[in-house]
Structure 1
Amino acid sequence: MKIGIISDTHGHEGAWTRACEKFFTGADLILHAGDVAYHGPRNPMKADYNPMGLIERINASEIPVVIAKGNCDSDVDASCLTLPILSPYAYVFWEGRRIIVTHGDAVMTDAEKDEMAQHLRADLFISGHVHVTILEKRGNTVFLNPGSAARSKRPDGRNTVAVLEDGTIRIFDIDTGDVLHEHALDW
């Protein structure tokens, strides 16, 4: 099983393309934790800002894509996608494991995330929104924020994505391919 995990692309087609070409090749599924097309008023645009190009690439993806709605995802953006944006979260049951994907703007604190994860019996809880990577286990749940593929707020400025493969989650720098965080699952 290989799952590509991405968040906060904010209309940057190049970020999606790099993630798919470098990290998601051969994936069985791509999970997107929201803020797909619109850059948001707090996020300056970069050279690869092309929301329509990004939407076209997502629509053309041969790998199934599941998207949870982010606070910058509008109905107009969603109407351009050929797949639904799920709100406020996506509940994915994959190879006997429960995976929750939410943007994170409605469940900001660890306590709120823990409560939701416990209620839904999540094995993996994925969120985005803060543009910073997180990979940790609390209780029976692994919590993952893959960071932003296009608009990082990490101190080092690295744009990031994650991959779940062979029982291990790895967070990668999207530009260099460096592994920044790694967690072996005990599933």
Structure 2
Amino acid sequence: MKLMIASDIHGSAYYCRRLLQAYEKEQADKLLLLGDILYHGPRNDLPREYAPKQVITMLNDISGEILCVRGNCDTEVDQMVLDFPILADYCILYHHSTMIFATHGHHFNESSLPKLKEGDILLHGHTHIPACSQHGHYTYLNPGSVSIPKEDSPNSYLILEDGAFLWKTLEGTVWKEYAMK
């Protein structure tokens, strides 16, 4: 299974459209969204082409292919207009015996770890900064942000396929890779 992982669309129709074009080009089986889908939040400037209603339509068109966790900017009101579940604080995926704990990052993060065992992966967005860092017993991964990247990082997403994570720009250029053991 090929999984595309993205975070922090923040209501940008422009970047949602580009993400979905990349999703189609990647021919991924599912799109995992790590929260902050429609609202830009009070700390962020408006992203390019801020149009949450257009984002709703684009994502609802592929609702059967989306897995999602709730971000700090996502609410029950957002769930009323989206045709896929968005209110779970996390989801757990497995690749062989490796658990991937996927969350937004505002509750569970490197300062507030979930229960992880040796070799598990903590995957979250929220910071808008791509990351891949190995710690004592777990690995932390972050796809960065689709629409409002920070610290001079590109607008990016992750691909998980055959045990490897690939960080890609929205143009599809691979700029980092991590292989699970």
One fold, TM greater than 0.5? yes
- Distance in 2 of aligned mates of 1:171 and 1:128: 13
Deviates further, 69-78 or 83-92: 83-92
Q: Confirm or deny: 8 A CA contact 1:27 1:63 kept in the other structure.
A: no
Distance 1:100 1:46, change over 3 A: same
TM (norm. structure 1) is: 0.84
Structure 2 segments unaligned to the other structure (5+ residues)? none
Please report how far the alpha carbon of residue 90 of structure 1 lies from its aligned counterpart in structure 2 after TM superposition: 1.8
Tell whether 2:151 aligns with 1:169: no
Q: How many angstroms does 1:65 deviate by?
A: 1.0
Letter of the 1:171 counterpart: W
- Mapping for residues 11-160 of structure 1, pairs under 5 Å: 11-23=11-23, 25-61=26-62, 64-93=65-94, 97-108=98-109, 110-113=110-113, 116-118=114-116, 123-139=120-136, 141-154=138-151, 156-160=152-156
Return 70-79 or 44-53, whichever deviates more. 44-53
- Could you say what secondary structure the match of 1:66 adopts? strand
1:135-184 Cα shifts (integer Å, max 9, x gaps):
23335543211011000112x2421111112321111122x433221112
State, as a whole percentage, how many aligned pairs show the same letter: 33
Give the conservation status (yes or no) of the 8 Å contact 1:99–1:124. Answer: yes
Q: Is the 8 A contact 2:39 2:52 kept in 1?
A: yes
Alignment partners' CA distance in 1, 2:58 and 2:84: 12
Which one of the candidate residues 160, 171, 177 is aligned to 1:182?
Answer: 177
Aligned length: 180
TM value normalised by structure 2: 0.87
Q: CA offsets, 1:49-90, max 9 Å, x none? A: 111111111111166211111111122112101111133212
The root-mean-square deviation of aligned C-alpha atoms, in Å, is 2.3
d(CA) in 2 for partners of 1:122 and 1:33? 21
Instruction: State whether residues 117 and 141 of structure 1, in contact with CA within 8 Å, keep that contact through their aligned partners in structure 2.
Output: no
| Structure 1 runs (4+) greater than 6 angstroms displaced | none
